[in-house]
Amino acid sequence: MRLRIATVLVGHERPSIFAAKAKIDAFFEAKLPTAIRTTVMVDNSRPRCELERLDAHAVIVGGDNSIREFSAWDRGLAYLDRTRQNPDLIHFATSAFDSLYTDYLDRFSGDVLAAAFQAKSVVGHVDYFDDEIKILGRDSQHWVRTSFFFVPREGVDRLRSVVSFERPEELFSGDPKEPFLPDAPISKGLQDFIISWLTGGGTGQGVVWHSRFDLAIETLPLFEAKTVAILNEHMLSLRLRELGYPVSDVSWLAGQLAEHSVEKIDWHRTWQAQIADRPA
């Protein structure tokens, strides 16, 4: 089958977005040249009202950067709705998709995406915390990295919005020494993970964020904005799971398809088992 795929690519300023688009176009040409594609680029440095058509299959629209990539994705999805496009899969991407660990990108293929569509599964790279955390009253530990992943269109429709956290006053104290409110709706373990990831030595898994900074009154707005993005990333996977869309690690799924038909894959295999069974 020829999959219809809509890419919603988010970035900040034209050069980086267009550079990312060129890489994504090359990705699809190599991996899935038969796909029927649409690309909506959302530039968070431009006003919301702006829209520029690049060609018959690509536009660039303005975002407001209110909730970083998440509000921008909502802008792109709203454009798809207005133009009555009905893709099989929504491809979410950011202009920084090829930073940090990227080997998983090689695991995507036409077979992987067709299988995910057939099984109504989210597919991307699964990240996880070493310990379980609590977020908005839910226990969780893993999520799909949101810089590059695919979701069935009906799952996106049922979400209504990819934004889960949008009120920082419910989270933050305004004090860089104790940045979270005592009754913030996230566990102490998650708070510690976030502080370590953004301002310290990472989360203990041997990976350190490339843009970490010291937490001070001057950097508090940046800390709060990045924290909201982290929480929205985690909640997006959690909400999709709650709606009944299994989350498949792309490396695990590629390995499964090398040995099994789509019908014989256990689409509800636990994330721990998926990580353990990732091909080397």
For residues 45-49, give the mean pLDDT.
Answer: 81
Instruction: For 21-37, write each residue's pLDDT tens digit.
Output: 999 999 999 999 999 99
Instruction: For 136-166, write each residue's pLDDT tens digit.
Output: 999 999 999 999 999 999 999 999 999 999 8
Instruction: For 180-232, write each residue's pLDDT tens digit.
Output: 999 999 999 999 999 988 987 655 555 556 678 889 999 999 999 999 999 99
Distances (CA, A) of 27 to 16, 24, 71, 100: 17, 5, 25, 18
Please report which confidence band the pLDDT of residue 100 belongs to, taking 50, 70 and 90 as the band edges: confident
Question: Does the 4-163+245-276 domain belong in CATH 4.10.1250?
Answer: no
Task: Please tell me what DSSP assigns to residue 263.
Answer: G
Contacts of residue 54, defined as CB under 8 A and 6 or more positions apart, other chains included, come to: 60
Helix (H, G, I), strand (E, B) or coil at 3: coil
pTM exceeding the 0.85 threshold for the entire prediction: yes
Is there a contact between 239 and 136 (Cβ–Cβ < 8 Å)?
no
Is there a contact between 127 and 202 (Cβ–Cβ < 8 Å)?
no
> Which of these ranges, 11-25, 41-55, 226-240, has the smallest mean pLDDT?
41-55
Distances (CA, A) of 169 to 93, 189, 228, 229: 28, 20, 11, 15
Res 195: pLDDT = 92
Query: Which amino acid would we find at residue 113?
Result: L
Is there a contact between 77 and 155 (Cβ–Cβ < 8 Å)?
no
What does pLDDT average to over the chain? 92
Res 139: pLDDT = 94
Number of other CB atoms surrounding residue 161 within 10 Å: 16
Contacts of residue 262, defined as CB under 8 A and 6 or more positions apart, other chains included, come to: 115, 118, 119
**Domain layout of the chain by residue ranges:** 4-163+245-276, 168-230
Res 37: pLDDT = 97
Is there a contact between 88 and 4 (Cβ–Cβ < 8 Å)?
yes
